Amino acid sequence: MDTMKIGGYIQHLRKAAGMTQKELADKVGVSFQAVSKWENGDTLPDTGLLLELCDVLNTTVDKLLNGGSVLLKNRKLMRVEDVIAGFEHMEQIGRCFGENCSFFTGMVEGVNQKMNIDLLEYLHERKTREVLWAEVLIQGILSGRTVDLDEVEANFTNRKMVMEIRKYLEKTAENN
């Protein structure tokens, strides 16, 4: 567990609720120094306080202990950086084996045919590359995986793609 991340999340929720450290402390029956230690990542709240603390902060224990992010109902997290690396590895196959190698051309032709695109053209520009990343993430979401929207926002410059990914995440969350 990342105590700094958990502490930052507690502080974020407390401030969003318009509470001081003392007010939060009074609501859960601890000293304001204890709240300060949580928020600084020095200590974690006692397990006996977690349910009450989460109730006061309007969150869940799993989300609190994950520092604000949660894997929904055992949905495996897809990392955007892994998707990006996957496409970089595809390009490396062409560089390593040669772009005329049947292994590489077969891979590219398979993607082109299945998705009705020109993969190599899509990989040349950042904007179209992000479309490919988004497609993989959306397919993952539709197959029961999830993504961290903060990571999506950090890696995408195309706001339209971010909104599409958000839409699919919200839709699948409603259905669960």
Nearest Cα residue to 63 out of 8, 120, 6, 4: 6
Those residues whose C-beta lies under 8 Å from the C-beta of residue 169, and which sit 6 or more positions away, are 141, 146, 147, 149
What one-letter code names the amino acid at 42? D
> Of the candidates 99, 73, 19, 148, which has an alpha carbon nearest to the alpha carbon of residue 10?
19
Sign for the pseudo-dihedral over CA of 58, 60, 61, 67 = negative
- Residue 78: strand pairing partners: 147
- For residue 137, what are its two tokens? 């993430």
What is the rounded distance in angstroms from the CA atom of residue 168 to the CA atom of residue 134? 11
Q: Write out the two tokens for 27.
A: 């609501």
Measured CA to CA, the distance from residue 173 to residue 62 in angstroms comes to: 16
Q: Return d(Cα 123, Cα 120) in angstroms, integer.
A: 5
Is residue 109 predicted with pLDDT exceeding 90?
A: yes
- 3-state SS class at 77: strand
pLDDT of residue 73: 53
Domains in the chain with CATH codes: 3-70 (1.10.260.40), 77-175 (no CATH)
Task: Say what the pLDDT of residue 76 is.
Answer: 87
The yes-or-no verdict on residue 33 having pLDDT over 80 is yes
pLDDT tens by residue, 10-28:
999 999 999 999 999 999 9
Q: Give residue 139's pLDDT.
A: 92
- Cα separation, 10 vs 63, in Å, equals 10
**Residue 70 reports pLDDT greater than 60:** no
